[in-house]
Amino acid sequence: MVDIANPPARDRPTRRLGALSASVFALLTSAAAAVQPAVAEQDLVIHAGAVIAVPGERALGPTTIVVRKDKIVQLLPGYVDVGDAPVIDLKDRTLLPGLIDTHVHFSFSPATRNWSAAIDTPEDVALASFSNAKKTLEAGFTTVRDVGSDGYAIHALRDAITDGTVPGPRIFLSGTSLSIVGGHGDMSGLNRKTTEALFPYDYTGACTGAVECALRVREAAKFGADLIKITTTGGIMSQQARGLGQHLSDEELNAIVTTAHSLGLKVAAHAHGGQGVTASVRAGVDSIEHGTYLDADTAKTMAARGTWLVPTLGLLESHDSADTARLTPAVQAKIAEARKVSGDNIRLAVRHKVNIAFGTDAGVSPHGENARQFRKMVEQGPMTPMAALRSATVDAAALLGQSDHLGTIAPGKYADMIAVAGDPYRDVTVLEKVAVVIKDGRIIARPAD
């Protein structure tokens, strides 16, 4: 038996999660009686002390999970002897689905400067992106949505991970964000010659008018985007003091959404200011990213239309007084104002039953610390730990359109799982220290603490 998680006694959980519900136990028992696994076809067996198979539902007790290649094939009650198949001993752990972060930026980090493009090569960006992806995977996030990384390094990383060339989380990407000229997503803050040399107009995703914005969507689809990311409003980190109002016009928004949906692509809208949030929802975007100044009327509309909120907290939580010293006065002022309403978007979403998906804005905040947002969602929602966990599993998978493959531990799903010490339904902070990560049925090495 392989013991890959054997911490000191003081780190072990002191209690088990709840026992199997009657219906689930009956289902698993009947499956165990009807099917005896064929040893020759098994790749991996996991003995888990507790399993949150479907976040939001009651946890299972001691369970055996059978994995074949990259898929889960069986969940059996108790610890089943499966012959010579390798067994992962997680009897003192809680097993749950791999986590999903629906808002990351792998091509940069908080240390990235505006002028990095003058120094970094595409190869530099690719290697940095791989490093950021590795940190994210080791933190227990087996799937991400990258919503705005420069150039095509992120496309290469996504494909290399998919092919198994390098390890990393499963990536769904937008590529470069679409924005107005000079808006959030387009480059500003450098002199004109430098900007034009490093960030030519067609490189940044800037567009003007419905026709050109539709063209940008088609270009993104042509070159392999999984979704479209737009910046409907100004951004907090934009090096300008023009506020957070609506940027893309209603006509441009409608053209983008109509074109994207005709191509089978969802639209994620960066939107801070209330007018821009409302305009994005009215245009039919699939998710509002940030939604800092979300109001009650728009929250009701989002709930009615099924529009998702991805309430990123990484930006406001990651910049302390020492860190803000390197930010421009314009950015510092926007951060200060946004902090005054921090958490209002989550509270409104909970109150009006808006769909919430977990997303951190990692890249603006440090990569690999994604799970720190769970405690903030619980504190500010107030979301329950169960709801916060569900937002990063079942609900995030639904936003991605991947519910058939991700978000729960069930036969036929990808074998993406993590193990933690303790009960995340009682203490969501246990997700900040993942003991074991399994992606596609493969055990991911964890660095020493």
SS3 442: strand
pLDDT computed for residue 241 by the predictor:
57
pLDDT computed for residue 82 by the predictor:
82
Closest among 85, 91, 80 to 4, alpha carbons compared? 91
Burial 222-257 (b: 16+ CB within 10 A, else e): eeebbbbbbbbbbbbbbebeeebebbbbeebbbbbb
Is residue 151 a contact partner of residue 122, using CB atoms and an 8 Å limit?
yes
Per-residue model confidence as pLDDT tens digits over 159-188: 999 999 999 999 999 999 999 987 776 666
Provide the phi-psi class of 141: left if phi over 0, else alpha when psi is between -120 and 50, else beta.
Answer: beta
Is residue 174 a contact partner of residue 130, using CB atoms and an 8 Å limit?
no
Q: How far apart are CA 97 and CA 403, in angstroms?
A: 12
Which is more confidently placed, 439 or 34?
A: 439
Is residue 292 a contact partner of residue 272, using CB atoms and an 8 Å limit?
yes
| Other beta carbons less than 10 A from residue 258's beta carbon | 16
Percent of the chain with pLDDT over 70: 81
Which is more confidently placed, 333 or 292?
A: 292
Per-residue model confidence as pLDDT tens digits over 182-235: 777 666 666 667 666 666 656 678 899 999 999 999 999 999 999 999 999 988
For residue 376, what are its two tokens? 């903030």
| pLDDT higher than threshold 90 for residue 62 | yes
Q: How far apart are CA 174 and CA 216, in angstroms?
A: 12
* 75: confidence class by pLDDT, cuts 50, 70, 90: very high
pLDDT computed for residue 43 by the predictor:
84
| Packing angle of the helix pair 344-352, 296-305 (nearest 10 deg) | 50
Closest among 55, 22, 86 to 418, alpha carbons compared? 55
Q: Looking at 69-78, 111-120, 121-130, 230-239, which range is the least confident one? A: 111-120
Q: Looking at 100-104, 205-209, 295-299, which range is the least confident one? A: 205-209
* 328: confidence class by pLDDT, cuts 50, 70, 90: confident
The span from the first CA to the last CA of the chain, in angstroms, equals: 24
Q: How far apart are CA 63 and CA 263, in angstroms?
A: 42
Q: Looking at 34-38, 75-79, 340-344, 423-427, which range is the least confident one? A: 34-38
Q: How far apart are CA 411 and CA 307, in angstroms?
A: 29
* 10: confidence class by pLDDT, cuts 50, 70, 90: very low
Q: Looking at 3-17, 111-125, 129-143, 351-365, which range is the least confident one? A: 3-17
Q: How far apart are CA 187 and CA 222, in angstroms?
A: 23
Residue with tokens 């921090």: 342
Closest among 153, 196, 143 to 399, alpha carbons compared? 143
Closest among 97, 61, 94 to 78, alpha carbons compared? 61
pLDDT computed for residue 401 by the predictor:
98
Per-residue model confidence as pLDDT tens digits over 302-326: 999 999 999 998 666 654 544 555 5
Q: What is the sign, positive or negative, of the torsion defined by CA atoms of 18, 23, 26, 32?
A: negative
* Average pLDDT value for the chain: 85
| Packing angle of the helix pair 250-262, 274-283 (nearest 10 deg) | 40
Prediction pTM value? 0.87
* 1: confidence class by pLDDT, cuts 50, 70, 90: low
Residue with tokens 């769904």: 172
